[in-house]
């Protein structure tokens, strides 16, 4: 079992920045791709960004050039640096980790972009 705990969400004004963290614990051997997903009220969960164990990255179109995903394998932690935030970025952000074909999810952290 892998446990994932997100942190760093909050309220920020448009144009501001936030950094999310996702700490993995438990049976973490073999974790491969990790990623961030988000779900806004009334919408489906969507991909934000993913990162492999070798740090290859992939981004959703709406966040390219604004968000940066990274991971520190020694600390078993993944990050999402979010810049130039927009109201449409408001959502619950979820951490995901894949291990031997199984996906684990965190509880989510709320990000609200509003003036």
Report pLDDT digits (tens) over 19-78.
999 999 998 888 899 999 999 999 999 999 999 999 999 999 999 999 999 999 899 999
Tokens read off for 85 = 């935030």
Structure confidence at residue 44 (pLDDT):
97
Instruction: Identify the pLDDT of residue 20.
Output: 98
Among 9, 23, 4, 7, which Cα is nearest to 111's?
Answer: 9
Phi-psi region of 63 (alpha: psi -120 to 50; beta: other; left: phi over 0): alpha
According to DSSP, the residues that pair with 24 across neighbouring strands are 4
Q: What is the pLDDT of residue 27?
A: 86
Contact 17, 9 (CB under 8 A): no
Q: Exposed (0-12), middle (13-18) or buried (19+): which is 105, by Cβ within 10 Å? A: middle
pLDDT score of 81 more than 90: yes
Q: In the prediction, which pLDDT does 29 show?
A: 86
Higher model confidence: residue 31 or residue 87?
87
């Amino acid at each position: 079992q892998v446990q994932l705990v997100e942190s760093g969400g909050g309220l920020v004004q448009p144009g501001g920045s936030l950094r999310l963290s996702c700490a993995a614990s438990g049976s973490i051997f073999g974790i491969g791709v990790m990623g961030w997903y988000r779900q806004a009220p009334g919408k489906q969960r969507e991909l934000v960004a993913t990162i492999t164990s070798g740090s290859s990255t992939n981004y959703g179109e709406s966040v390219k050039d604004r968000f940066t995903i990274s991971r520190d394998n020694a600390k078993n932690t993944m990050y999402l640096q979010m810049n130039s935030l927009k109201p449409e970025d408001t959502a619950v952000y979820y951490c995901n980790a894949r291990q031997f074909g199984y996906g684990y999810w965190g509880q989510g952290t709320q990000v609200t972009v509003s003036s």
